[in-house]
Amino acid sequence: RAQLQEEETMKPGWVPVAGLLAAAGLLAGLPGNAALQATEPAAVEILVAGDVYPRGMEAPWAAVRERFAEADLVFVNLEAPITQRSLATPHKSRRGLAAGRDFLMRLENPAVAEEMRTAGIGLAGLANNHAVDFREAGLRDTLTHLERAGVGWVGAGSISATNTSWP
């Protein structure tokens, strides 16, 4: 890092982005820390979208599919867990839910994850207020569906969908 910070060709923010790219598999072909030793990083385009809640399969992606295909990485905030579970979190206010001031959100069709991948989404952020609307089991379902579809994920801790040591 010190060497990179001294480089005149260093672009601000490139070192933190290297970790994101590595998580998305974009640096997989580079030996060791070759990416961090580069004097002039290659241009990488990352598209970021927030609060994605794709209840219909094709409709949300039709308008952006071509643009997504041009990017090196498409990173979205997946606003709801992908689960068919019905046992909701006890941490939502019943009054807030009844009054429409709070919401329980979920995507019941597990094919949503595959459609996200087909649309060009490579990374889903899960650190939001709906990630555990259907408890830890709903989050685990989400991780499983994303992993099976080949969509990376961040923001839900360092657990794996297959980790049996979940607290």
- pLDDT, mean of residues 59-63: 78
Q: Give yes or no for residue 147 having a pLDDT over 90.
A: yes
Beta carbons within 8 Å of 7's beta carbon, 6+ residues apart:
39, 40
Please give the distance of CA 1 from its chain centroid, rounded to a whole number. 26
Task: Give the distance, in angstroms, between the CA of residue 64 and the centroid of all CA atoms in the same chain.
Answer: 17
Residue 105 near residue 133 (C-beta atoms within 8 A)? yes
What would the pLDDT profile of 16-49 be if each residue is shown by its tens digit?
A: 445 555 555 554 444 444 445 555 667 899 999 9
- What pairs with residue 46 in β-bridges? 73
The arrangement of strands across the sheet holding 46-52 comes to: 46-52, 73-78, 123-125, 152-154
Percent of the chain with pLDDT over 70: 66
- For 39, the token pair is 């004097």
Residue 53: pLDDT band by 50, 70, 90 thresholds? Answer: confident
CA distances from 108 to 25, 38, 59, 81, 92 (A): 28, 44, 16, 8, 20
Q: What is the pLDDT of residue 21?
A: 53
